Amino acid sequence: MDSSYSSARTRTAGKRPGRRAAKIVSFQQALQVAILALVVVGAGRADAADPSADSEHGLAAKIRYCQDCHGPSGQGYRGFVPIPRLAGQQPEYFKNQLQAFVERRRTNDIMLNVAHVLSPSMITALATNFQSFNPRPLGGAPRERAAEGKKIFQDGVPDGNIAACAACHGPDALGHEQIPRLAGQLYWYVVRELGVWGTERGQNPAKPDTSATMLPIAHSLNKQQVEAVAAYVSSLQ
């Protein structure tokens, strides 16, 4: 999924870039990922060295670290590597996913470095704070696909034995407890996650993961259906 996005961004005037331009784009992409890693790893080390990390000052500092990547209002980041929206996310889901990184139920080395130094009280405080944010969706999705996505979200795909997304995520895609909010989530992030679900989540057999519920659905949706659903939910406030 990400490769198509990268290709779209590197086209100019309908032509493919030359080798020199391609090398420049590749370098910029690598640099962007490297900077992201340094920011979040540095954030984790700062908390580990600070005995007052759970203080009000420590919480404010950690929120700022999160905002460096996830946006000042937790709205996410629409870059080469799509960074998810945290704003308005269900606290139980938020906490569960940070724990999933630590337990390697969900694979992401950057988030592992951040999550493993957070105390339970800090995780709860972060989850509560980001749930209170409510920025406008970033947009960027193909609007013409939203109507198709709405139908799949509300009714599922009966011919493919795919349940309606609304059955779990709610009619407004706001989620509930450990079921995540999808409303306003970045289009490219939703597309990517559904594409790599089986290789990124539920990776620790010793610790069963609630993400197993989504695995058959993620596998059953084709590329066009995934993109349509992502276009719809990303437009919701």
The 8 Å CB, 24+ separation contacts for 201-210 are 201/100, 201/105, 201/106, 202/105, 202/106, 203/104, 203/105, 203/106, 203/107, 204/103, 204/104, 204/105, 207/103, 207/105, 209/100, 209/105, 209/106, 210/96, 210/178
pLDDT, tens digit, for every residue of 33-77? 444 544 444 544 444 444 444 577 899 999 999 999 999 999 999
Who has greater pLDDT, 158 or 6?
Answer: 158
What's the structural domain count of the chain?
1
This prediction has a pTM of 0.77
CATH number (domain holding residue 150): 1.10.760.10
Q: Percentage of residues in the chain with pLDDT exceeding 90?
A: 73
Asked if residue 22 has pLDDT above 80, the reply is no
Give the pLDDT confidence score for residue 118 in this predicted structure.
Answer: 96
Q: Which domain holds residue 104?
A: 2-234
